[in-house]
Amino acid sequence: MRDHLVLNIILALIWCLLQQKFDLPEFVIGGVLGYIIIYLHRTVLDDRKAERRVLSPTAYLAVIAKTLRYVFVFLYEVVKANIDVVKIVLSPKLEMTPGIIAYEMDVKTDAGITLLANSITLTPGTLSVDISEDRKTLYIHALHIEDAEVLKKSIHDSLEKYTKEILG
């Protein structure tokens, strides 16, 4: 991490530019945020480990494209879930069948599991409740479950698919 001091200073200066304030408190905040960004991207930045070399420009752009695709899929799922929740709440007969499902994940990395669980929680009508000891099953509470298999397939084909592309 010491090798990235110049990058951290540049990120702190960019933060000051964005805040339109060039004073010590803003520089410190920018430095802390820059350090967090560098720490989160350490596997991309650290080329001393053979298995974790710096990505080529095309590979880096591919990661950015996959991340943007995930963001759009996530936003689509949030809008769709909001519409579904509004339909449930505004229906004359509040017909809900809440429940908890056990969802077998294909995502294996800690970061991937965290992103998937948080994405599910941030989607209205669903909540990540727990994860199994073997870290393979995510327990999800849903406001309305017509068919558990349809819900599982929906999660697998959208949020998990794109989470796995980014974070494995």
State what percent of residues in the chain have pLDDT above 90. 41
Instruction: Write down the H helix ranges in the chain.
Output: 5-19, 24-40, 42-45, 57-90, 110-122, 148-155, 161-167
| pLDDT of 165 strictly over 60 | yes
pLDDT tens track for 41-94: 776 666 555 444 445 567 667 777 888 899 899 999 999 999 988 988 888 887
Amino acid code (one letter) for 37:
I
The reported pLDDT for the residue numbered 111 is: 83
Assign 104 to helix, strand or coil. Answer: strand
Say how many C-beta atoms besides its own lie within 10 A of residue 84's C-beta: 15
Q: Which residue has the higher pLDDT, 136 or 168?
A: 136
pLDDT digits (tens, 9 = 90+) for 113-150: 988 999 999 999 999 999 999 999 999 999 989 899 99
Which pLDDT belongs to residue 1? 42
Is the model more confident about 45 or about 40? Answer: 40
Q: What pLDDT score was predicted for residue 46?
A: 61
Dihedral sign for Cα 130, 132, 136, 139, please.
negative
Boundaries of every domain in the chain: 2-52, 57-167
Tokens of 134: 């073997």
Question: What band does 34 get if pLDDT is binned at 50, 70 and 90?
Answer: confident
- Please tell me the predicted confidence (pLDDT) of residue 75: 93
Residue 166 tokens read as: 């980014």
- Residue 68 β-bridge partners: none
